[in-house]
Every structure is written in C-alpha cells, then in structure tokens.
Amino acid sequence: MADNGVAARSAAAGLLEQVLGEGKMLSEALGAPYMLRLAYDDRARAQRLASETLRSLERVDRIMKPFLRKPPPLAVHNVLRIATYELCTGGAAHGVVNDAVSSVGANKRTEKMKGLTNAVLRKVVDKGPEEWAKLRVPRLPKWLRAPLAQAYGHESIGDIERMHFTGAPLDLTPKGDAKALSEAVAGVVLPTGSVRIKDAVQVSALAGYDAGDWWVQDAAAALPVQILHPQKGEAIIDLCCAPGGKTMQLAASGANVTAVDSSDRRMQRVRENLERAKLSAELVVGDALETSGRYDAVLLDAPCSATGTIRRHPDLPLVKDGSEFGELIELQARMLSHAITLLKPGGRLIFCTCSLLPDEGECQIEDLLAIHPELEIDRDALKRDGIEDAWITEEGGLRLRPDYWAERGGMDGFYIALLRKPL
C-alpha cells in the first residue's frame, strides 16, 4: 500500500516552523487551526514526527549540510528536516520523498524549490542512513549543558543526553492495584509503584481509561505525593496544581484537597481529569501567593525551568535560552516563604520542581533552612519503595535525573524535599 502521509508530514513541518521560527513551545503549536483540522491519526503522526525530528535536530542538520550550498527558506528547510529524519530512521523512500516534494510544491512561495527538495532527499536516501548511526548523541545547548556539567560532571551529562535522545515511555499512576493495572495494559510495575508501558499506544484506548482507573504521570512526578504520605481526612492544599496528577493522588488518598492554579484553562483540564477518575477536590483559580488558610500539608510544585522534562519536550532547549531562570528562582523562593505560612503547627511542606538545575532545588532548600532554622527536613520520609540512597542529597532532599533507571527507560529530572513545621 502506498504511503499517503502528505497531510501529516506537511503539518509536522508547520509545527517545526512555529517552534524554530516563532519560538513557540510544541504544546502551544499543537493548537494551530491546521492541526485541529486533521484526522486524529494524522494529528498524532504529525506531533510524533515533529517531536522526534526536534529530538534529533543536530543529527538531521549534519546529514543535510553537505547537500545544501546555503540554507533554504525555513518552510522548505523544515520539510527537508522532517523527511531526513524519516529517511534515516527507516521511512519508505518513495513515500517520504514524494510527500516532501508535494508539500513544497503546494505552497506558491516555495513551489520553485521542488527540484531542490527532490535532489537533496535523493542524496539523503543514498548516504543518510549509514551516516546517521555514526553521529554523536545530540547535545544540550551550551547555556544548559554548562551548568549541568558543573553540577553532575561531564560523564553524567553524556548519560542524561543519551536518555533525552531515547525519549520517554508512558507511565501510569494506578488508582488501585498496580499489578492488576500492569496486566490489563501490558505494562510493568516499577519499583516505586508506577506502571510503565514502553511501546507507543493511544492513551484513550487503554483498558481502564474511561473508568478512571489511572492517569498519565511520569514515575518521578508521582513521588512527591508518595513522600508526603497523605492521610484520610487531612486538609491539604496543592499549589500550582495543573495538570492535576498530584491532585488526583491526594484525592485518592482520602484527603480533603484544595487545588490552586492561576490559569482557568489549565484548571479545566484538572477538572476533566478528576471527573474521569471519579475523584473530588475543591478547585480554586487564583494566585498561589494570595492563598490563605491553615493546612495539615502543603504541596508546592513550583513553576520552574522544566529542564527535567526534556525527554518528553525536546523542543524546550531549542526555544528557551535560560534568560528567564533568574525570575523563576526568585518566584520559587517567594512561594516557599508563603507556603510556610499556610501550615498548621506540625504541618508538612513538599517542595518540588521538574528541574535539573540545583538552583531550583537543592539551593532553594539550603537558603530556606538558613532563613527558617526552625524548619526540619524529613529524611525519613524519603525511605520509600524504589528510592535509592544515592539519590538523596546532602541537605536531605531527593535528586532525580533522566539517567536513573536507564535500563528501565529513565525518569524525568525532579527535585523533592519534605519540610516539617514545629508544633
């Protein structure tokens, strides 16, 4: 059967143009009208092609460079990038090349470059797959690689980059029995209790989706609530709660949960996720810094650089440049200070960020403890199934990295610490 994927491939090139040309995150670009008009399968294919091409961009551009005297217009360049990725990773040459030429020819601004497109891709067909395997794993940009190498060493950065290039499996948090869920979805139970599916699947087609038996959540992202160990009837506030995975974990424990997020759009997603899982929480759209009340526990998953999620978001290092990190670090410190005021005597505070940068994790807790020596960091709370001693940091937090559990498919980068307020 002929490969008729021109719609998906053209859409994937359009996504690259928004990311590389307009500086949009891929998640934002997915809402473009041309994406919404696609059939579900084509939309999913376009998203996958764009994501994997961005993940492999360093290799893609190195493969094409000898065949281009100068960079073509971005729209054409991105069509070539999508096609090169496919050709070097097993795509059928006839369909890939024809669709690329058709895509370029369909645009009046680029139709004169059909011949160039065909010529370049024919050369990629001949030489690309062999050269692809010889190229190094794509590296992080210098603005991010340098501070991470300083924090973890050059060897570890290479390991992290390899996991970024590998991508991420699908992790599920079960509402009930993990073993039963793993059998139902053909997954495996991880040491921390999450269920992992390694092969690509349609999430909504998995067993238990409609019944709300589970939700998608990276294994690392599921640990803050496990470490908090919420109890039935406790009053717990989840600050910056969207998309709601931790809110659902808290609600499933039987706690009385208040969930806060500043975005009504993001909160709608939390609401939908709770409804599917048949769980309840009080949802508040507002500024976390303006919340009030007294709670048994506070969970602060603070806004951060999200550098721990590059396995899932390969566009992040291409769109961001680190210039916003200073403001984020300042905001985290303000949120931490406010979160303390929400605790009852003896209350517990979980601070976490999906970041690989110590400035957004270890350093925040060190600074907080210097200002509030009355707070106690709870190292015993980290003694949970699957957590390794080597992951526990000097100040008593938990540092997770993509290269941990490499043989299992890795995990997101995260920092987690549990603090207790005196009675």
Given the residues 304, 352, 354, 363, the one annotated as active site: 354
Burial track 211-240 (b if 16+ CB lie within 10 A, e otherwise): ebbbbbbbbbbbbbbbbbebeeebbbbbbb
Contact yes or no for 182/188 (Cβ under 8 A): yes
Contact yes or no for 270/259 (Cβ under 8 A): yes
Query: Mapping DSSP to helix (H, G, I), strand (E, B) and coil, where does residue 311 land?
Result: coil
Contact yes or no for 18/55 (Cβ under 8 A): no
The amino acid present at 96, given as its one-letter code, is V
Alpha-carbon gap, residue 337 to 368, rounded angstroms: 8
Contact yes or no for 348/228 (Cβ under 8 A): yes
Whether residue 243 is preceded by a cis peptide bond, meaning omega within 30 degrees of 0, is yes
């549990």: which residue's tokens? 418
Distance from CA of residue 329 to its chain's centroid?
19
Contact yes or no for 29/16 (Cβ under 8 A): no
- Reported as type and span, the H/E element at residue 201 is none
For residue 88, indicate whether it is catalytic: no
User: Nearest Cα to 107, choosing from 10, 9, 5?
Assistant: 10
Helix spans in 133-207 (H): 142-152, 154-166, 178-185
Q: Which residues are catalytic?
A: 354
